[in-house]
Amino acid sequence: MEIRALGCYGSELPGYRLTGYLLNRMALLDAGTVTSVLSLDQQKQIDYVFVTHPHLDHIRDLSLLADNLIGRRKKPLLVVGIPQVLNEIKAHLLNNSIWPDFTLIPNIHKPVLMLHPILPEEPTRFGKLTVTAFEVNHTVPAVGYLVSDGESSLFFTGDTGPLGNVWTGLAKAKDLRAVLIESSFPNELKELARVSGHLTPAMAGKEIEKLARGDVKYLITHIKSPHLKRMQKELTDLQVRSLHVMGQGEEIAL
Ligand SMILES: [Zn+2]
Ligand SMILES: [Zn+2]
């Protein structure tokens, strides 16, 4: 599987873009950053967007992507998520007030976007990808995704605090090559991390211990950019051999 970080930060500053990962050039994990990075031709090739939760830093470019794609694709772009998350997007973003309802544009038979609900822990096929949502711990309904393309698989936590059963579910995934795990705030701000449903480097280290797999890469995502330097040091201090802080624009083949 090829993964490209269109944006990998938890807050936006010049040179630091919000969360959006392109998989095999045809699917997105979250859509915080899409349209400012991909050409129109590349945007047209995206068939699926797997949305972890409805926070703006994860869905912002869904609106702008829909606008760019109108009349340019034969099939609707599928926006995939658990029902609670899709309902929030429909009610608060595609509500004909903040933004037009692109699930009805240009018409209901051939819309630009189609919302496609999936249930947690039920593997579902999307083209060559098999995708399973796992509920995670955030301040709003949120999931992480296990994505497999038949050759390798990847787990993306999205935004989350400490996890329980998810790691047990992943322990069996034989072809798991990487875990994209969030870490948002430095250790000193652990109380803020706790109340906002995020992880510090020390907390992420504990999650990595729970999964206890030495055969996967741990890719750190969603760092709040103003804290980047300090957090890079705190993450290095964890001394996890296969840990890597994602860099913007970085492409990794799993
Ligand atoms: Zn976020
Ligand atoms: Zn969030």
The pLDDT of residue 169: 86
Domain, as residue range, for 94: 2-247
The pLDDT of residue 51: 98
How many Å from the N-terminal Cα to the C-terminal Cα in the chain?
5
Asked if residue 28 belongs to a domain, the reply is yes
Work out the number of other CB atoms within 10 angstroms of the CB of residue 121: 14
Give the ligand at the shortest distance from the Cα of 160: 2
Q: If you measure from the C-alpha of residue 58 to the centroid of ligand 1, how many angstroms do you get, rounded to a whole number?
A: 6
The pLDDT of residue 172: 83
The pLDDT of residue 171: 86
Asked if residue 252 belongs to a domain, the reply is no
The partner residues of 115 in beta bridges, in order of sequence, read 79
**What are the tens digits of pLDDT across the range 179-221?**
999 999 999 999 999 999 999 999 999 999 999 999 999 999 9
Asked if residue 133 belongs to a domain, the reply is yes
3-state secondary structure of 92: helix
pLDDT beneath 50: ranges in the chain: none
Q: If you measure from the C-alpha of residue 108 to the centroid of ligand 1, how many angstroms do you get, rounded to a whole number?
A: 31
Q: Contact at 8 Å (CB) between 48 and 133? A: no
| Token pair 């103003």: residue | 226
CATH code for the domain in which residue 100 is found: 3.60.15.10
